[in-house]
Amino acid sequence: MSGGPIPVVGQDSQGVALAALALAMAAPLGWARRHPWPVLAVLLTETAAAVATRLGVAQICPLVPAADLLVGVVAAARSPRAGHAAAALTFAVQVTVVQVNLFRDGGWARVLAPGYLGLTACLAFAVLFAWQTGASVRERRAYDEALRMQAADRAVTADRLRIARELHDMVAHSIGVIAIQAGAGSRVIGSAPEQAQHSLEAIEVVSRETLGGLRHMLDLLRQPEPGREPAPEYAPFTSLDDLDRLVATAAEAGVRLEVRRRGEQRPLPTAVDRSAFRIIQESVTNVVRHAATGRCRATVEYRPHELWIEVADDGRCRTDTATDPSGYGICGMRERVALLDGSFTAGPRPEGGFRVAARLPLPRPCDSEMTAP
């Protein structure tokens, strides 16, 4: 017999077989994103089967981080209970497989060796870290979804309040004028037919304007096609340029409105212009309905950094108008001013009557134009 190394028969084929086995065991990971629970169950089953076929820890080691990864996926994509179950099941299978391998190789002495006890702690830490990461992702998604829902709710609420303010300001003024004209016409219809006819004509004009304003608002709410605009002939009052028309309608209702303008008049931002007019309109409407007086005064002062508005009358005190929670006029004016970061006051005057005042800040562009030489 001659000396020399004894060749190992089938070593290459054994390596190929192990590589093929590894690929077969890793194949389920392709469905991990859509079906994390079934894939995790398959990996844990493969891990347990490896013990029965007497594969060593080194051969099944790649299955451990793969299973931990799936624990994170389950915790992120499923309910908290499912995440807890996946973490507990994964840790139990992994520890059992490792302990069985250790016991088979060296008995209890090997199982209870400090180094291998540390391995068990590492397995627990890895599963816990994977579960915590997945739970954090799930909680973050839930938090983001809650923020989106809250933002959507706030947007809907803001739209509802805006529509409610516009309808109130538009309709309340017109209905007040119509009610007064109707009452005046009914009292003189027998004795002064011409005056009654005048009241009816005023009611017709105000009604048509109000109907046109409502149609205008409905067109905007229904988002008309590009290029199609609401009919302009009955456009609602929308800016301080309409104060003259407001003076006329107030006169029809029996209240003489005096408008005083101070400061250098200039173009205003749309939001400020519209809110300023609506505040004056609602204040005059309250005078018509509650003050029992025939006159009031509106002051519009253009200041360098703000627009000052004041509406005052010398009628009877109307403390209930400012404090009654069932009324929407004062509340709507206060909301308009708050949206523009301004200040608002409304209450009885010491000398008698009622006063509404609002300060509306102007944005930087208008400030720069005012201070430019």
Taken in order of first residue, the domains within the chain and their CATH numbers are 14-151 (no CATH), 237-246+253-373 (3.30.565.10)
Structure tokens belonging to residue 113: 């060796």
- How far CA 227 is from CA of 22, 106, 223, 224, 230, in Å, comes to 66, 86, 11, 8, 10
Structure tokens belonging to residue 91: 């840790």
Q: How far apart are CA 8 and CA 63, in angstroms?
A: 29
Residue matched to tokens 């302009």 = 232
State residue 326's pLDDT score: 43
Q: How far apart are CA 78 and CA 80, in angstroms?
A: 7
SS3 346: strand
Task: Taking the CA atoms of 156, 275, 343 and 326 in sequence, report the sign of the dihedral they define.
Answer: negative
Q: How far apart are CA 132 and CA 76, in angstroms?
A: 9
**Comparing C-alpha atoms, which of 14, 25, 82 is closest to residue 50?**
25
DSSP 303: -
**pTM greater than the 0.85 cutoff:** no
What torsion do the CA atoms of 109, 111, 117, 123 make, to the nearest 10 degrees?
A: 170
Q: How far apart are CA 8 and CA 28, in angstroms?
A: 34
Output the tens digit of pLDDT for each of the chain's 373 residues: 444 444 444 445 544 444 554 555 555 555 566 677 777 777 777 777 766 666 665 666 667 777 888 888 888 888 888 888 888 888 888 777 777 776 666 666 655 666 667 777 888 888 899 899 989 999 999 888 888 888 888 887 777 777 777 777 667 667 777 777 787 777 777 777 777 777 787 777 777 777 777 776 677 666 655 555 544 444 455 788 888 888 888 887 788 899 999 988 888 988 899 889 989 988 888 888 777 788 899 999 999 899 999 999 988 755 444 444 445 678 888 888 988 889 999 989 888 889 999 999 987 654 444 444 3
Task: Taking the CA atoms of 212, 219, 289 and 246 in sequence, report the sign of the dihedral they define.
Answer: negative
Q: What is the DSSP string of 188-215?
A: HTTT-HHHHHHHHHHHHHHHHHHHHHHH
